[in-house]
Amino acid sequence: MSADRFERAREVFVQASVLTAEDRRQFLDDKCADDSELRAEVEELLRFHDMGGVGLPPEARLRELADGIEAQQKIGNYRLLRKLGEGGMGEVFEAEQMEPVRRRVALKIIKWGMETKEVVARFESERQALALMDHPNIARVYDAGATTEGRPYFVMELVKGVPFTDYCDTQRLATPERLELFIRICSGVQHAHQKGVIHRDMKPSNVLVTMVDGRPVPKIIDFGVAKATSQRLTERTVFTEFGQWIGTPEYMSPEQAEMTGLDIDTRTDVYSLGAVLYEVLAGAQPFDSKELRTSGFDAMRRAIREQDPKRPSTRVSTLGEGRETVAERRRTDPSTLVRMLRGDLDWITMKALEKDRTRRYGSPAEMAADVERHLRNEPVLASPPSTAYRVRKFVRRNRVAVVAGSMVVVALLIGIIGTTIGLVRARRQAESAQRVSDFVVNMYQDLNPRVMRSHGSTPEEIFGRAIERIEVELADEPLVQARLLWTLGDAYSVFGQNERARELMERSAQIRREHLGEENLDYVMSISFLGDVLSEMGDQQAAIRYHEHAVSVRRKVLGPDHHTVGWSLRSLGIAHWRAGHLDTARSLYQESLSIISNARGDESFDVSITLFFQALLARDEGDLELSRELFERCLDIREAVLRPHHLETGLCLLEYAGVMRQMGKDDRAKELTSRALEIFQQAYGTDHLTIARALETLAAIEHNAGNLEDALILYGRALDVRRRIGQPDLENLAGDPDFDAVVEAHHTRFSEETFRQ
Amino acid sequence: MQNEVRDRVTSIVATLGGEGGVGTASSEQLLLLVYDELRRLARHHMGGDTPGHTLQPTALVHEAYLKLVDQSRVDWRGRTHFLAYASKAMRNLLIDHARARASAKRGGGSRRVTLVDEVVGDRALDREQLLSLNEALDRLAEHDERQARVVEMRYFGGLKVEEVAEVLGVSKRTVEGYWTHARAWLLRELTQGQGI
């Protein structure tokens, strides 16, 4: 295009550009009547003109060029220099204060529409208190005001640092180093509390770690901001219109989530400190952030108020793939980290996160002191958080009036609570709050007491106290004493705490013998249980002695056909079976079965118990066909009389499957085991010894069938379960190099076999 | 040193727009001095450590004027002409910088912009778009040198229409027409490549 034509097109374009579309057409018809090329050129340019033409000057370039400069914006006495960050509540700028002193400050402009006057007024009311704060771990708050647009702003000490959790992770601080920093954060919050200031919005991003003389110093920012900007928490203020969150629900205390917004005290900060500690230890927040934020307003509040977070150690072990990263950021490996958190640090964190603030640490200083005790390897004040709390919650749920009541019931319940803890500790699969409280509910209903009181302490102490009370306070009521000891012992045996059960049973039996004599039924009841426990513990001789005595006394007192005679005969048979006296055991079982069948009915659960042991005996004698028959009968009864998926049915299925395998009927065995596994999983969740056993049986079946790959997977799952079960020996094994080597060898062997196929 | 520069710039600027214009040597010297000053200002404004906010290039140009010229010795005409020079210096600075960045990043070269949305209206251009614009502006200069200068002054120096008219010695209406046309023309260049 010649210069001439370029200019001509420009001229027509400029004239046309100011016209409307209609007029343009007319105008172009006129101007370019005989020049379609010109017309095409002008029309094309007009199209780009209508798009707005080329963009405005390249401001972004200059930012790179100058590496950052705030357009000379001024707010009050402050000149904004650059933006430091943007959060849910507003933007933070580095600013220069002109007068009365010239200094760099951080200026936070609140974003959302709130009553500016009110915010500033609330800030003013706290200003004096804020001014009194002077602590190395607190960023000072200088001023508040409103921009010309009417947005409130706060002026604070400028802290150039990174959020607490980020700092710990990027520096790969080990757990003790993290705790050291945390203690200083506590001391800052404590200082503020002493000056009458509550933070209300403690979270990792409000704690910046800055370097002073080459050492990390945590500084808490935003004191006074949350209170000044606090509104009644409503759905509207928590979610913006786009469904985004404003506050920080992950660190919000239950009382804040209550929304009353009135009754917030220093213990709210203790809770949030707990959440911060949780995250810095476990690498995850107490509540799943995503879940919390997508669950809706009410569900979120309910979770914060009611849902118990997992303990930090449990949280780490359930992180899956993330475990490695979390551990690595703490310069350790997952199993060491879990061990490190278990106990003290779990308890400290959970105590701070108690729903009921009266159960939290009274102050940040108390919390810090406990962390220090932990670091010095002294016993901490925090105790397992479950005991009293869960009982209390249970009581609340059941709306039982809690008043002072009879000694007996209190002592019993304390014993049972202790037992619950024993259960929890012995079998971690029962850890979930729900299952534990279900258990307590059952025990509670069995005893049907009218009163309940809780004594929060370690299970050992509760146990000790219960025994002590039974021994001391009921010294002149020996029979009540004996009964309580028996009850406690029974509870312990149910949970497999045989050693403790034995002690209690012996004591109970001793008291009853002294006061009632050996021919007494209550005494017999004590020794019967004692015999069962001893038999399980391997002392068949003693067991046989006790059961023989029990049989003779019950026969004499109750008559030969009484069902308890059948029980004692069965127990005696079991002891003989375990001792290897198979013939004796067989005839004892036979005798027991006929008595129980007559007394309780052929189809009673009681009968199925005897059948079960007969089946095991037949198996041991090599009469697999008989064993199969007995298991079938046992199974039929259990499925008929027990509720579906009863554990006892599961146990029967599992043992039965073993016999089927011996008979070479792997298909049947597989079906039985799968059913058993389903029952165990329903009852126990994922981690229980029976689950591991079922998986191992299935693995063996697959292995036998030549499905090595499936076998390998099943063995692996079983091994995982065993590792997680938390049986002390296995637990210690997990992570042990030797143990891992064995596992490795297993895997290698299976892999090799798979390859050969 | 700073005073010497200021004296030198002021004396050059004082002759700008006057009778006879300014010699080539002085013209080049002015361009360099302004260029350096702009770069210095940009660095000065860096202040903190990380980029946060943006700065209008035109604001920088005006700031350079305040720094470099003793206003008591220069009238509005001198100021306008200074800004015209500074626009060129600013353009050079931005382009040099963008080239350095681009080549540091991926061995030079630039790409044609294809997405209209990215370059129209009130959006700032990115580095590569800026380089493309620079090339398009050179092509515009092949058609009409003066029109390209209008863009340069408006775009990189933030001069007002009447100021540009003063520098070029043409009417305001002409400048307005040139500016409107150039924006459409450049956008077509950026989105379609070589064009006509």
Residue A450 has pLDDT above 60, yes or no: no
- Of the candidates A137, A73, A132, A135, the residue with the CA atom closest to the CA atom of residue A107: A73
Is the separation of the CB atoms in B104 and B176 below 8 Å? no
User: Which residue would you say has higher pLDDT here, A300 or A69?
Assistant: A300
Q: Determine, for residues B46 and A45 on separate chains, whether the beta-carbon distance falls below 8 Å.
A: no
Q: Determine, for residues B144 and A52 on separate chains, whether the beta-carbon distance falls below 8 Å.
A: no
Q: Does A52 touch chain B (CB under 8 A)?
A: yes
- Of the candidates A343, A280, A344, A282, the residue with the CA atom closest to the CA atom of residue A309: A282
In chain A, which residues have their Cβ closer than 8 Å to the Cβ of B143? 1, 3, 6
Rounded to the nearest 10 degrees, the angle between the axes of helix A387-398 and helix A433-447 is 60
Query: Facing residues of A78 across strands?
Result: A75, A97
Distance from CA of A294 to the nearest CA of B (A): 32
Looking at residue A411, what is its pLDDT?
A: 41
Dig out the tokens for A337 from the structure: 């980290």
Rounded Cα–Cα distance for residues A589 and A571 (Å): 9
| Nearest chain B residue to A84, by CA | B52
Which of A316-330, A417-431, B116-130 ranks highest by mean pLDDT? A316-330
pLDDT-wise least confident of A609-613, A694-698, B35-39 = B35-39
In chain B, which residues have their Cβ closer than 8 Å to the Cβ of A65? 39, 42, 93-94, 97
- Amino acid at position A108, single letter: K
DSSP state of A307: P
Is the separation of the CB atoms in A413 and A447 below 8 Å? yes
Q: Determine, for residues A61 and B125 on separate chains, whether the beta-carbon distance falls below 8 Å.
A: yes
Rounded Cα–Cα distance for residues A161 and A216 (Å): 9
Q: Determine, for residues A66 and B42 on separate chains, whether the beta-carbon distance falls below 8 Å.
A: yes
| Nearest chain A residue to B124, by CA | A58
Confidence of residue B18 (pLDDT cuts 50, 70, 90): low
pLDDT tens for A362-377 read 899 999 999 998 888 7
Dig out the tokens for B44 from the structure: 């000065």
Among B55, B116, B144, select the one facing A63 at the smallest CB separation.
B55
Confidence of residue B64 (pLDDT cuts 50, 70, 90): confident
Contacts 24+ apart (CB under 8 A), A40-46: A41/A1, A41/A9, A41/B196, A42/A9, A42/A12, A42/A13, A42/A16, A44/B188, A45/A9, A45/A13, A45/B181, A45/B184, A45/B185, A45/B188, A46/A13, A46/A16, A46/A17, A46/B184
Looking at residue A374, what is its pLDDT?
A: 85
- State the count of interchain CB pairs (< 8 A) between A and B: 179
CB atoms within 10 A of CB A215: 7
DSSP state of B125: P
- Mean residue pLDDT across chain A: 74
CA dist list (Å): A336 to A317, A376, A717, A727: 11, 19, 21, 16
Helix (H) or strand (E) holding A142: strand A141-146
Looking at residue B46, what is its pLDDT?
A: 45
Find the Cα–Cα–Cα–Cα dihedral B140, B141, B142, B143, rounded to 10°. Answer: 60
Outline where A495-623 has alpha helix (H).
498-516, 521-537, 540-558, 563-579, 582-600, 605-621
Which of A24, A41, A61 is the mutation pick for testing B, counting most B CBs within 10 A?
A: A61
In chain A, which residues have their Cβ closer than 8 Å to the Cβ of B66? none
Active site amino acids of A: 201
Rounded Cα–Cα distance for residues A147 and A127 (Å): 19
Q: Determine, for residues B120 and A55 on separate chains, whether the beta-carbon distance falls below 8 Å.
A: yes
Relative to beta strand A207-212, strand A162-163 is: antiparallel
Q: Determine, for residues A62 and B94 on separate chains, whether the beta-carbon distance falls below 8 Å.
A: yes
Is the separation of the CB atoms in A99 and A83 below 8 Å? no
Distance from CA of B99 to the nearest CA of A (A): 11
Rounded Cα–Cα distance for residues A512 and A518 (Å): 8
Q: Determine, for residues B46 and A69 on separate chains, whether the beta-carbon distance falls below 8 Å.
A: yes
List Cβ neighbours of A693 (8 Å cut-off, separation of 6 or more): A654, A718
Among A6, A54, A68, select the one facing B119 at the smallest CB separation.
A54
Confidence of residue A653 (pLDDT cuts 50, 70, 90): very high
List Cβ neighbours of A539 (8 Å cut-off, separation of 6 or more): none
As a residue count, chain A comes to 757
Dig out the tokens for A361 from the structure: 């640490």
CA dist list (Å): B183 to A1, B11, B152: 19, 35, 12
- Amino acid at position B180, single letter: T
CA dist list (Å): A282 to A181, A231, A300, A385, A569: 16, 32, 21, 17, 53
Looking at residue A280, what is its pLDDT?
A: 94
Is the separation of the CB atoms in A70 and A83 below 8 Å? yes
Looking at residue B23, what is its pLDDT?
A: 60
- Mean residue pLDDT across chain B: 71
Among B47, B120, B196, select the one facing A68 at the smallest CB separation.
B47
In chain B, which residues have their Cβ closer than 8 Å to the Cβ of A81? 47-48, 52
Residue A123 has pLDDT above 80, yes or no: no
User: Which residue would you say has higher pLDDT here, A447 or A133?
Assistant: A133
Is the separation of the CB atoms in A529 and A493 below 8 Å? yes
CB atoms within 10 A of CB A77: 15
pLDDT tens for B67-92 read 777 767 777 777 788 888 888 887 88
**Cα A402 versus chain centre, distance:** 28
Distance from CA of A55 to the nearest CA of B (A): 5
pLDDT tens for A78-89 read 887 777 766 556
Q: Does A61 touch chain B (CB under 8 A)?
A: yes
Relative to beta strand A74-75, strand A152-157 is: unpaired
In chain A, which residues have their Cβ closer than 8 Å to the Cβ of B190? 54
Among A3, A7, A59, select the one facing B56 at the smallest CB separation.
A59
Q: What's the ipTM?
A: 0.79
Which of A 65-104 lie inside 8 A of B, CB atoms? 65-72, 80-84, 93-94
Looking at residue A224, what is its pLDDT?
A: 73
List Cβ neighbours of A749 (8 Å cut-off, separation of 6 or more): none
Rounded to the nearest 10 degrees, the angle between the axes of helix B57-68 and helix A59-66 is 60
What is the sign of the dihedral through the CA atoms of B135, B136, B139 and B144? negative
Looking at residue A594, what is its pLDDT?
A: 93
For the residues of A666-703, what is the DSSP string, one character each?
HHHHHHHHHHHHHHHHHHHTT--HHHHHHHHHHHHHHH
- Of the candidates A598, A574, A568, A604, the residue with the CA atom closest to the CA atom of residue A586: A574
pLDDT-wise least confident of A55-59, A217-221, A267-271 = A55-59
Q: Determine, for residues B119 and A55 on separate chains, whether the beta-carbon distance falls below 8 Å.
A: yes
Spatial strand order in the sheet of A74-75: A74-75, A78-86, A90-97, A103-110, A152-157, A141-146
Residue A274 has pLDDT above 90, yes or no: yes
Relative to beta strand A152-157, strand A103-110 is: antiparallel
Looking at residue A393, what is its pLDDT?
A: 38
Dig out the tokens for A153 from the structure: 């702003």
| Nearest chain B residue to A68, by CA | B51
Which of A40-54, A739-753, B54-68 ranks highest by mean pLDDT? A40-54
Is the separation of the CB atoms in A9 and A45 below 8 Å? yes
| Nearest chain A residue to B98, by CA | A61
| Nearest chain B residue to A15, by CA | B177
Q: Determine, for residues B123 and A17 on separate chains, whether the beta-carbon distance falls below 8 Å.
A: no
Query: Facing residues of A212 across strands?
Result: A215
Distance from CA of A7 to the nearest CA of B (A): 8
A119: Cα within 13 Å, side-chain hemisphere? 23
* Maximum Cα–Cα distance across chain B: 49
Three-state SS string across A436-474, please? HHHHHHHHHHHHCCCCCCCCCCCHHHHHHHHHHHHHHHC
For chain B, give the percent of residues with pLDDT over 90: 11
Q: Determine, for residues B127 and A64 on separate chains, whether the beta-carbon distance falls below 8 Å.
A: yes
User: Which residue would you say has higher pLDDT here, A373 or A69?
Assistant: A373
Confidence of residue A31 (pLDDT cuts 50, 70, 90): confident
Q: Determine, for residues A82 and B158 on separate chains, whether the beta-carbon distance falls below 8 Å.
A: no
Q: Determine, for residues A62 and B54 on separate chains, whether the beta-carbon distance falls below 8 Å.
A: yes
Q: Determine, for residues B158 and A57 on separate chains, whether the beta-carbon distance falls below 8 Å.
A: yes
CB atoms within 10 A of CB A738: 8
Is the separation of the CB atoms in A544 and A530 below 8 Å? no
| Nearest chain A residue to B137, by CA | A54
- Of the candidates B188, B143, B147, the residue with the CA atom closest to the CA atom of residue A45: B188
In chain A, which residues have their Cβ closer than 8 Å to the Cβ of B123? 55-56
Looking at residue A377, what is its pLDDT?
A: 75
Q: Does A3 touch chain B (CB under 8 A)?
A: yes
Dig out the tokens for A368 from the structure: 């810090």
Q: Does A10 touch chain B (CB under 8 A)?
A: yes
Rounded Cα–Cα distance for residues B41 and B45 (Å): 6
**Residue A654 dihedral angles phi and psi, to the nearest 5°:** -65, -45
Is the separation of the CB atoms in B63 and B39 below 8 Å? no
In chain B, which residues have their Cβ closer than 8 Å to the Cβ of A66? 41-43, 45-46, 55, 60
Confidence of residue A593 (pLDDT cuts 50, 70, 90): very high
List Cβ neighbours of A676 (8 Å cut-off, separation of 6 or more): A650, A651, A653, A654, A657, A690, A694
Looking at residue A576, what is its pLDDT?
A: 94
Residue A118 has pLDDT above 70, yes or no: no
pLDDT tens for A168-189 read 988 899 999 999 999 999 999 9
CB atoms within 10 A of CB A541: 12
Q: Determine, for residues B54 and A51 on separate chains, whether the beta-carbon distance falls below 8 Å.
A: no
Rounded Cα–Cα distance for residues A329 and A177 (Å): 12
**Cα A633 versus chain centre, distance:** 42
